[in-house]
Chain A
């Protein structure tokens, strides 16, 4: 017995979102407008990602949700529970076991494989928005490939800071055509966007946009010959698992200003600890 539509949304809404997803996959990096629906959660909770997940999930899926790398935040737990109830999906925290992963602000450390789908929650889908507030103008700029202003903005960073200061939502160019906002992932994650084996879908609820990257798509972070893109991270090993290749969060651990660096991807960190890897701060 169920009191919900399958995956909450009615069939007509899912068809509309599904058609938008197909056009998004056919035109990688282009933002497809869609008629976003009210969801039983506030916009900040990733209603765009939730609607995309609702349109792709089947009862056979195993679903994982991460919020800045963690499976156990209120946001992640509530979205996971939502689809467990409304779509009857199995859930997991293990990246490799999931068939659909909804994410806010991270790409898992473990490489994704064919058959997996990564759904991003996107707050602001338009990479040109902070240069040009008018939608009619940004749409024209994309149609004419007028991306000079974007380069000017990045170059101003260089003249002001000596390097490109943008460290999140770092813009990329897809297949040499559309400039795309990868959502507020750290630029450390940017190199994973390209040539990924999984399908990547991006949903912005408030701004009513869906865009996509098919597997094995060319994605290049914007940069300059004299200032090449660098996927930087804190220059420390993880305090818990000792990983030197993962993106780290800095945690304050006592009142005396003590701090430690720990993997932002909790599944990655826990799997490494379970395999016997130990960082300098591990008990």
Chain B
């Protein structure tokens, strides 16, 4: 076991995870807003924000799917040591972790059942940039409308059509995060999309 496997967790787990959860909760409750989240120093390619989300929400009861280059020895060892979460394939995960291109297509993840729509996966998406412009968002948690640099539009529209079933998303970048619950309506912004918000 390498030394950096043991380090990079929360120094004060109880209060740091309390603060981190509030960032995640505010983000999920107010889609299209950015929140700071800190305290974790995970191995690459996991960002500090993604590391903090995982430390806050994951444990032995939450199977994780590591997509693409997230599935490496350093990340597996770090998550095993700090959370104890089991690693599974996409069909049985509670959390999926990766860059957008590695996570799609979305049809492989659990979307819940009509009687238990909460039994659905949350995707934690690592982004190169995260800004409040791009796709237009409306729905619960949003006063009029909001905007967020989503990796694409159609996949989130298809996910919204599954409501109350569906997937929920947390986007991480550096020490910031945003979220998009299944309840959000997503449409293409009338202003030209930025380079990083182009379809994959």
Question: Which residues of A pack against B, CB within 8 Å?
Answer: 5-7, 11-12, 14-16, 18-28, 30, 32-33, 55-60, 139-140, 142-144, 175, 177-178, 199, 212-218
What is the minimal beta-carbon distance from A99 to any residue of chain B, in angstroms? 10
B104 interfacial by beta-carbon distance below 8 Å = no
In-complex Cβ contact of B122 among A20, A21, A22, A178 (8 A): A22
* 10 A-B pairs (CB sep. < 8 Å): A20-B118, A22-B25, A22-B122, A22-B168, A26-B181, A55-B21, A139-B115, A144-B114, A214-B141, A218-B140
Does residue B61 face the partner (Cβ distance < 8 Å to A)?
yes
Q: Are B164's CB and A7's CB within 8 A?
A: no
Question: Within 8 Å CB of B168, what residues of A?
Answer: 22-23, 26
The answer to the question of B198 belonging to the interface, with a C-beta cut-off of 8 Å to chain A, is no
B17 at the A interface (CB under 8 A): yes
User: Does B161 have its Cβ within 8 Å of any Cβ on chain A?
Assistant: no
Contacts across chains A and B counted by CB atoms under 8 Å: 114
Nearest chain A residue, comparing its CB with the CB of B61: A16
Question: A33-B116, A213-B140, A215-B29 given. 16 additional CB < 8 A pairs?
Answer: A15-B17, A18-B25, A18-B57, A23-B120, A23-B168, A25-B28, A26-B28, A26-B181, A30-B117, A58-B19, A58-B22, A139-B116, A143-B115, A175-B183, A215-B30, A218-B140
* Residues of chain B contacted by A7 (CB below 8 angstroms): 14, 18
B14 touches A27 (CB 8 A): no
Q: In the bound complex, what is the Cα–Cα distance between A30 and B112 (angstroms)?
A: 13
- A5–B17 Cα distance when bound, in Å, is 13
Q: Which residues of B contact A218 (CB under 8 A)?
A: 140
B175 interface hit (Cβ, 8 Å): no
Taking the closest CB of chain B, its distance from the CB of A124, in whole angstroms, is 19
Query: Does the CB pair A178–B164 fall under 8 Å?
Result: yes
What is the bound-complex CA distance between A6 and B168, given in angstroms? 28
- For residue A28, which residue of chain B has the nearest CB? B140
Inter-subunit contact B25/A217 (CB<8 Å) = no
**Of listed A12, A26, A27, A218, residue having the most chain B CB within 10 A:** A26
Once bound together, how far apart are the Cα atoms of A32 and B115, in whole Å? 10
A27 near B118: Cβ-Cβ < 8 Å: yes
| Chain B residues packing against A (C-beta within 8 Å) | 13-15, 17-19, 21-22, 24-26, 28-30, 56-59, 61-62, 114-118, 120, 122, 139-143, 163-164, 168, 181-183
A39 to B115, CA, bound (A): 29
Residues of B within 8 A of A20 (CB): 118
CA–CA, A212 and B117, complex, Å: 14
> Which chain A residues lie closer than 8 Å to B56 at the CB level?
15, 18
In the bound complex, residues from chain A placing their C-beta under 8 Å from that of B118 are: 20, 23-24, 27, 30, 32-33
List of B residues within 8 angstroms of A14 by Cβ: 17-18, 21
In the complex, the answer to whether A6 meets B14 with C-beta atoms within 8 Å is yes
B182→A18 contact, CB < 8 A: no
Q: Shortest distance in angstroms between A66's beta carbon and chain B's nearest beta carbon?
A: 22
Q: Are A216 and B21 in contact (CB under 8 A)?
A: no
Chain A residues near B13 (CB, 8 Å)? 11
Task: Kindly list chain A residues whose C-beta atoms are within 8 Å of the C-beta of B141.
Answer: 25, 214-217
Nearest CB in chain B: distance from A24 CB, A: 8
Q: Looking across the interface, which residue of chain A has its beta carbon closest to that of B30?
A: A215
* B183–A26 CB distance below 8 A: yes
- Known A-B contacts A27-B183, A58-B15; the reply to A18 vs B29 at CB < 8 A is no
Query: How many Å lie between the Cα of A158 and that of B175 in the bound state?
Result: 56
Report how far A140 CA is from B183 CA in the complex, Å: 21
